[in-house]
Structure 1
Amino acid sequence: MKAKAAVLWDHNTPWSVEEIELADPREREVLIKVVASGMCHSDDHAVTGDLAVPLPVIGGHEGAGIVEKIGPGVRDVEVGDHVVLSFIPSCGRCRWCAVGQSNLCDLGAILMAGAQVDGTYRAAARGHDVGTFSLLGTFGNYTVVPEASVVKINKWIPLEKACLVGCGVTTGWGSAVNTGEVSPGDSVVVVGIGGIGGSAIQGAKIAGARHIVAVDISPDKKAMAETLGATHFASSIDEAMTLVNELTWGVMADVAILTVGVASGDMIQPMVGLIRKGGRVVLTAVSPMGATDTQLHLAEMTLFQKQLRGSLFGECNPRADIPRLLNLYEAGLLKLDEMVTTEYRLEDINQGYDDMKSGKIMRGVIIHEH
């Protein structure tokens, strides 16, 4: 079948919106009519080369849609089901899925391969096979994905909001609730207030944090951070350091979460300086794949028993936590409507990413035309 998608043909070039050919789903695969796709910063990491993704590739890994067709062996969904596409698949069989760490599913090893699980491709353009980012390619109005990447949801939940829990909201929420282990009464700092940072604020609020300090260089993020639950705002880590010291009477924060667009090694020690003895720094932000250098006072880590924790997908289990978060949304506890700053047509994808990188939006969503 013919479809329309945003394809990246070379690094540091614009997304090209064009017609593609899409093959039928194969064994344990599903054809999805994509209704909406969140515009996550990770797709821009593919553009810059910070994430090593073979090109050409159809972008998008934060989507929601409707099952159009199922391949042989599919058991969990049927035609007409509404689904969220999880950016990390969950096979349910590997060691990590079996012990409740499906965010570390072994299928994650092929997320950046471009091809599907069997090593072949379902999309083609200009006479070439075209990969899909994170096995998904939600920057297409139709896509073929593994059943392991599909989570069925209630049909009454708006798909243009549900798409956000396919990556960013779940990652941010889990960074606070799971990796950060935020408890009632805690003081929390979130550095970098985009889609993931805003969701980390919400996770901290739902977990009962007393102080939530949002940190961003853009003053325009202050109002949005407060809408999502931040109690204070700072424009730099240095400013946050003084503020947290005052709020906690010198104890410092229980948890500090780094959710900037691109993490660098020189950010780590300032984050460690924000937390108390026994506190936790959560590193959620993506760094260039080859980055190895950082600055860290090792004695401070040992003598003050501070912790630095990495967080992938917020340590969430997609088949359990995606429905859980949508239940929180239905209950009015998780704000998704407020997260969406602007809706775009697929043809406006490059403008959307310009808006994101300039700090104009919290989260952009592409609404596909069919």
Structure 2
Amino acid sequence: MRAAILHQIGQDSLDVRDDVEAVGFGPGRVRVRLRASSLCHSDLSAMSGVLPQPAPFVPGHEGAGDVLEVGEGVDGLAVGDRVVLCWMAPCGDCPHCRRGQGHLCVSSLRRLGTPGFRLGEATDAFGFYNTGTFAEEAVVAADAVIKVPADLPYELAALIGCGVTTGFGAAANTAAVEPGSAVAVIGAGGVGIAAVQGARVCGADRITVVDPVASRRERALGFGATDAVAPEELKAAAKALEAGGYDYVFEAVGRSATVRAAYDAARRGGAVVVIGAGAKDDQVHFSMGELFFNEKRVLSSMYGGGDVRRTVARVIELWRDGRIDLAGMITHRVGLDGVNEAIAQMRSGEALRTVVSLGQD
């Protein structure tokens, strides 16, 4: 089959080849024919080494397709089911899962060293966080497969695999934004726009988007943002509010500087919600005095901050009701041969979400 490969961490482009095989099928596993994959900034972070991932590997973790084969012991899935892949699959039995916090389950990370693909006749390769959706097929653990309605288009389903679930869940689950609130979202990429939509669904009265790219700021207004400012304008916008800051500030970039800016823009007693996946050596600093005196809550939101399957189901329901715009988030579409073009578009800030089509036959 065809797949895109990163041979070494730090390389800028992927090698699209047709001698790749998905391996590892057996009990407890599912073979999926992928139809669409969305490009997320986390894929670029794995390619650069910011997120840990052994190489060579097939990037991509926002994927949707159909079940081709079901291994022994797998319940609830059948050949032909339309599915979305879950890159941080909950095991269902650890303390986090038993508390209903399956998004915090790390059992799947223990499989990162297990090859999911083979190049040519002898070279093992991995799937990004045990998925690898820039391929025509993938073999994954059954707990990494979420069944979705058959009428949900593949390209929209792919978005739900990570970015939409992460951003929407940060607003609806982690922050539980209250109606009438003033919200700011730093970063108008796919996750940030999903957070905007989540805050709107929750009833936020004011939603300010912060981004250095004017076209991204303008685009955010179409998803429910009430105003948009450049980063250097955030401080003045926050001080102009009656409370002296925002009730909730979402950081969807993954850098210490923007986390600090988010903290400064929140009102006393407000909340800072960190969604962006940053580097482990990028440290953000607060003084003990300000942490005590301001009583601002600093919250991190991992994969939507709640049970992933429930969040996915809620997003689909809201999409059906016309309350979440998924199709509008797709600004570019390419085939597998265009994946490097898609990477360049994301790095430039041109693309919100690019969907890689993997064939509909």
Which residue number in structure 2 is paired with residue 211 of structure 1?
A: 206
1:59 aligned to 2:59?
A: yes
Distance (Å, rounded) in 2 between the aligned partners of 1:294 and 1:51: 18
Which residue number in structure 2 is paired with residue 118 of structure 1?
A: none
Equivalent pair of 2:255/2:276 in contact (CA under 8 Å): no
Q: 1:300 to 1:108 in 2, by over 3 A?
A: farther
Distance (Å, rounded) in 1 between the aligned partners of 2:306 and 2:135: 26
Equivalent pair of 2:61/2:162 in contact (CA under 8 Å): yes
Which residue number in structure 2 is paired with residue 21 of structure 1?
A: 21
Alignment of 1:1-370 (within 5 A): 3-13=1-11, 14-19=13-18, 20-23=20-23, 25-110=25-110, 113-115=112-114, 121-126=115-120, 127-236=122-231, 238-246=232-240, 248-260=241-253, 263-291=254-282, 293-369=283-359
RMSD: 1.4
Equivalent pair of 2:88/2:144 in contact (CA under 8 Å): yes
Equivalent pair of 2:174/2:306 in contact (CA under 8 Å): no
How far did 1:245 drift?
2.4
How far did 1:298 drift?
2.6
Corresponding letter in the other structure for 2:251:
L
Distance (Å, rounded) in 2 between the aligned partners of 1:330 and 1:282: 27
How far did 1:122 drift?
3.6
Distance (Å, rounded) in 2 between the aligned partners of 1:257 and 1:97: 26
TM-score computed with the length of structure 1 as normaliser: 0.93
Distance (Å, rounded) in 2 between the aligned partners of 1:226 and 1:78: 41
Distance (Å, rounded) in 2 between the aligned partners of 1:80 and 1:218: 42
TM-score computed with the length of structure 2 as normaliser: 0.96
How far did 1:311 drift?
1.1
Q: SS at the partner of 1:60?
A: coil
How far did 1:10 drift?
0.8
Distance (Å, rounded) in 2 between the aligned partners of 1:183 and 1:357: 34
Any stretches of 5+ residues in structure 2 without a counterpart?
none
Distance (Å, rounded) in 2 between the aligned partners of 1:45 and 1:129: 22
Distance (Å, rounded) in 2 between the aligned partners of 1:30 and 1:239: 49
Deviation per CA, 1:1-35, whole angstroms, max 9, x where unpaired? Answer: xx111111012221111120223621111000101
Distance (Å, rounded) in 1 between the aligned partners of 2:252 and 2:131: 23
Equivalent pair of 1:179/1:311 in contact (CA under 8 Å): yes
Distance (Å, rounded) in 2 between the aligned partners of 1:255 and 1:21: 46
Corresponding letter in the other structure for 1:257:
F
Corresponding letter in the other structure for 1:254:
D
Identity of aligned residues (%): 32
Deviation per CA, 1:299-347, whole angstroms, max 9, x where unpaired? Answer: 1211111111111102131222212111111110111000111111111
How far did 1:108 drift?
4.0
Distance (Å, rounded) in 2 between the aligned partners of 1:336 and 1:288: 29
Q: SS at the partner of 1:315?
A: coil
Distance (Å, rounded) in 2 between the aligned partners of 1:23 and 1:266: 41
Q: SS at the partner of 1:209?
A: coil
How far did 1:242 drift?
1.1
Equivalent pair of 1:114/1:130 in contact (CA under 8 Å): no
Distance (Å, rounded) in 1 between the aligned partners of 2:308 and 2:243: 38
Corresponding letter in the other structure for 2:238:
V
Distance (Å, rounded) in 2 between the aligned partners of 1:76 and 1:106: 23
More off after superposition, 211-220 vs 269-278: 269-278
Distance (Å, rounded) in 2 between the aligned partners of 1:90 and 1:211: 35
Q: SS at the partner of 1:84?
A: strand
How far did 1:250 drift?
4.2
Distance (Å, rounded) in 2 between the aligned partners of 1:192 and 1:103: 23
How far did 1:289 drift?
2.9
Distance (Å, rounded) in 2 between the aligned partners of 1:272 and 1:31: 44
